[in-house]
Amino acid sequence: METYIILLLCIASFLAGFIDAIAGGGGLIQTPVALLLLPNHAVSSLLGSLKIPGFTGTGVASIQYLKKVDMNWKLLLIMAFFACITAFTGSYFVTIVSNDFMKPLLFVVLVLVAVYTFIKKDFGNHTPKEYSAKKSIFLGIIISSLIGFYDGFIGPGTGSFLILAFISILGLDFLHASANAKLVNLASNIGSITLFIFKGKIIWLIAIPMAFCNGLGGWLGAKLAIKKGNGFIRVFFLIVVIGTLIRLSYDIFFKN
């Protein structure tokens, strides 16, 4: 494999880690770059390989958030468990079926997300909703299971979906939603990586250097997000959602 390809993948991975640490959706960058630069590799192998840098960047970002943000550990650990299991299942399916049928649905969902985020200026500044502990756990299990499966099956945008769900359903603000999203996403990555390693789908030649760059980007992005707060994260979140829409629009309407 040519050196310049690995270099370009590392640059994309750094940017992905930086953006993902702030607003999720880092896969929007490194996934299409990998597909473009390595067209002759199986898609399942590329997706499996990208889980390694995704795990590293998310892990580094998680450490930064944990230093500054209080967490509901009981709820978080339960969500992480279900995200891990369902991501493993999703990754299994991606090795045997096509995921193209999901894109039109995602396109519609993201249009609604972008419009809602743009119009509702206080989105992400919510006060916690008065749910009982049991109801919070129930909702957390539903969120983490559905999005965990999506992460294993398709992947890009997982962090953004988690942030959206934690804000709109559990009533977290952007900072706490981002922190929780990182840790749940970390668990879903573990589930996917386990499956892809078992299936022998990881290309370690690109996975290892990309992991280092993604981790560096995640460290920088998390520190910036914590420093700037909710307003800054909201802007990044909207940019990532719009970017994902553009990507899906191309896949749905223009790609043969």
Q: Across the chain, what does the average pLDDT equal?
A: 82
Q: What is the pLDDT of residues 198-220, one digit of tens each?
A: 999 899 999 999 999 999 998 99
CA separation for the pair 227, 146 (Å, rounded) = 31
Residue 244 pLDDT: 64
pLDDT tens figures, 91-109: 998 787 665 655 565 567 6
pTM, to two decimals = 0.76
**What percentage of the chain reaches a pLDDT higher than 90?**
35
**Is 179 in contact with 71 (CB distance < 8 Å)?**
yes
Query: Of 63-67, 108-112, 140-144, where does mean pLDDT reach its minimum?
Result: 108-112
The alpha carbon of 74 is separated from its chain's Cα centroid by a whole number of angstroms, namely 22
DSSP string for the chain: --HHHHHHHHHHHHHHHHHHHHHS-THHHHHHHHHHH-TTS-HHHHHHHHHHHHHHHHHHHHHHHHHHS---HHHHHHHHHHHHHHHHHHHHHHTTS--TTHHHHHHHHHHHHHHHHHH-TTTT-PPPP---HHHHHHHHHHHHHHHHHHHHHT-TTHHHHHHHHHHHTT---HHHHHHHHHHHHHHHHHHHHHHHHHHT---HHHHHHHHHHHHHHHHHHHHHHHHH-HHHHHHHHHHHHHHHHHHHHIIIII--
